[in-house]
Amino acid sequence: MPDQASKYSSPTTVPVGVDPTRASIARVYDAALGGKDNYEIDRQVLKQVAKAAPQVRDLAVSNREFLKRAVRFLTERAGITQFLDCGSGLPTAENTHQVAQRVNPDARVVYVDNDPVVIAHGRALLEDNDKSFFVDADIFQPSQVLDDVKVRTYIDFDEPLALLHVGTLHHYTADNGGDLMREYVDGMPTGSFVVIAHFFNPETPELSELARKMEYHFMHSPMKSGRFRTREEILALLPGLELIAPNPDKGPGLELCDQWWPDGPKVLNDVEKCIVGVVARKP
Ligand code: SAM
């Protein structure tokens, strides 16, 4: 049997940490959202992609807004009380625990990330919250996450949970992401949910070219990751799961992040048409 560490590999398995000469996914994302916890090397990634897609930052905004709506949906409509948030990112104004605990003050959140800057900020932020916790682990090694002592202590695996992989799997550049996700799904009880937001290649003549260019620039930037997968490739990341309808007017499926239970009518730009969100349930 190959060991878990060699089964899945990604450029983000070794955290960049606070090295200002290497771009970090968390810091690039922070820069895209207008935060202050980033270096010139991180901003360079966005500048490089902006050559092909001047509105590149909208990918991050659409992703984050989707995360909040999906967490509200799961807490309010699906009665989920525990969240395993993989790749939590740098703290923003509204983090998963704040969104969930506004609906249900007893909701528990375990955040997982391997970026030292994220971990330091996260631990400080959560000091006063006795229902939210931080774990330092590689989210692309499911057994590392699922077997973690803190995860096992604060998530009850006899009760449904929500696994968030929002804005993470496009940084997993290998083609066996379906196997990786199957390990997570196998470890979760029936009635659990998986939430994914992912860079998207819509496979239309105009938008495919844009998606391919953004992918090229991300992959050749100092960040070295950012795949724009097709509908079929993203669905392969949800093995054995039932998709949830993305809003009351639509059937189950993937949806552009901005149109997943939208806050209101919005005219989307082309970049916003290149990121999708999906919520799926383990039957
Ligand atoms: N999920 C958050 C959201 O949607 O707002 C943040 C998404 S951010 C784009 C991706 C996060 O995944 C970063 O904080 C990064 O440090 C983390 N990450 C990337 N690869 C990782 C790995 N192999 N193990 C743990 N965390 C990882």
Question: Residue 265's domain spans which residues?
Answer: 57-281
Of 186, 162, 30, 149, nearest in space to 84 by CA: 162
- Confirm whether 30 is domain-assigned: no
CA distances in angstroms from 79 to 75, 160, 184, 193, 243, listed in the order given? 5, 9, 21, 11, 17
- Confirm whether 4 is domain-assigned: no
Q: Where are the beta strands (DSSP E) in 81-212?
A: 82-86, 108-113, 132-136, 162-166, 193-199
What's the pLDDT at 101?
A: 97
What's the pLDDT at 234?
A: 98
CATH of the domain at 79: 3.40.50.150
What's the pLDDT at 6?
A: 59
What's the pLDDT at 3?
A: 46
- Confirm whether 19 is domain-assigned: no
- Confirm whether 29 is domain-assigned: no
N-to-C CA span, the chain: 29
Count the domains in the chain.
1
CB under 6 Å to ligand 1: residues? Answer: 10, 12-13, 25-26, 29, 63-64, 67, 87-89, 113-115, 118, 138-140, 166-168, 171
H or E element that contains 247: none
- Confirm whether 23 is domain-assigned: no
What's the pLDDT at 4?
A: 47
DSSP state of 191: T
pLDDT along the chain (283 residues), means of 10: 62 74 94 94 97 97 97 97 96 91 97 93 89 96 97 98 98 98 98 98 96 98 97 98 95 97 93 98 98
- Confirm whether 2 is domain-assigned: no
- Confirm whether 24 is domain-assigned: no
255 Cβ neighbours under 8 A, 6+ residues apart: 246, 247, 276, 277, 278
- Confirm whether 114 is domain-assigned: yes
Pocket probe mutation, ligand 1, options 27, 65, 113, 151, max atoms within 8 Å of Cβ: 113
Roughly what angle, to the nearest 10 degrees, separates helices 96-103 and 57-76? 30
